[in-house]
């Protein structure tokens, strides 16, 4: 804005008008603590609506798979991500993948692969500003395949056409910069960024992303869906690097 062009100045005024018209809508970050809670002792899938909310830096993503159809335009799947700090989103985005995918796991892997570079960037930025990154950054997914593959606990032969993305996710995890955790898909806030949801679910997820986890939790516990909610059960995987024995 030092020497803006006419078009840049018009865009700046448009942004200011939008902010003025929506001054009651704001994202609230908890500035008291940005320390991560210990996730190693928590059962997976992790539920972000629990009473103990992760307030450190973490990321989460979701995808909406579209099977390849008759045209390229109608065959591109959706991806979404949110990068959280202080219990609110620093950055959130939605996009359509350029690569056509044939299954849900490949779609979710593309999303996780796109999340990882931003995780590395934000970790370096937070470290520079004096927020130590002592643990791997949690990256949450609601896909079993991505969770297993990120920990090198499942074969990747069926994902050979996106193997570069698989290896990149594994590399970031091996370097200790991120660790993939599984969350329950019904409680994934980035669901609202990748697909159409009912108004109640969409508002609840938006509340969580905007730094109102207590209000989101109240809405969830007061809903009919919560009364019939059964936590997902998953099979634990061996630690990364453990030798897997294959029966002949």
68, 165 Cβ separation under 8 angstroms = no
83, 57 Cβ separation under 8 angstroms = yes
Of 88, 78, 47, nearest to 188 by C-alpha is 47
In order along its 248 residues, the chain shows pLDDT tens digits of 778 899 999 999 999 998 888 888 888 888 777 778 888 778 888 888 887 888 899 999 999 999 888 788 788 899 999 999 999 999 999 999 988 888 999 999 999 999 999 999 999 999 999 988 989 999 999 999 999 999 988 888 888 889 999 999 999 999 999 999 999 888 999 999 999 999 999 999 999 999 999 999 999 999 999 999 888 887 777 665 554 444 43
Predicted TM-score (pTM) of this structure: 0.85
Domains in the chain, ordered, with CATH? 54-227 (3.30.420.10)
């Amino acid at each position: 804005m030092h020497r803006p062009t006419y078009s840049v100045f018009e865009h700046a005024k448009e942004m200011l008008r939008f902010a003025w018209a929506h001054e009651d809508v704001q994202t609230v970050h908890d500035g008291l603590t940005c320390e991560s809670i210990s996730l190693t002792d928590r059962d997976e899938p992790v539920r972000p609506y629990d009473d103990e909310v992760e307030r450190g830096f973490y990321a989460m993503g979701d995808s909406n798979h579209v099977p390849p159809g008759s045209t390229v335009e109608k065959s591109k799947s959706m991806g979404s991500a949110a990068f959280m700090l202080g219990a609110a989103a620093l950055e959130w985005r939605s996009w359509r993948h350029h690569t056509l995918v044939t299954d849900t796991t490949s779609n979710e892997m593309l999303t996780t692969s796109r999340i990882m570079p931003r995780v590395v960037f934000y970790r370096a930025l937070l470290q520079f500003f004096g927020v130590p990154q002592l643990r791997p950054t949690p990256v949450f997914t609601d896909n079993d395949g991505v969770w297993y593959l990120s920990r090198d606990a499942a074969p990747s032969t069926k994902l050979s056409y996106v193997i570069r993305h698989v290896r990149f996710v594994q590399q970031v995890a091996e370097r200790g910069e991120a660790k993939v955790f599984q969350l329950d898909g019904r409680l994934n806030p980035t669901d609202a960024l990748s697909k159409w949801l009912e108004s109640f679910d969409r508002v609840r997820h938006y509340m969580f992303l905007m730094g109102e986890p207590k209000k989101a939790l109240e809405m969830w516990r007061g809903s009919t869906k919560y009364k019939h909610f059964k936590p997902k059960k998953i099979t634990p995987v061996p630690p990364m690097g453990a030798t897997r024995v294959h029966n002949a």
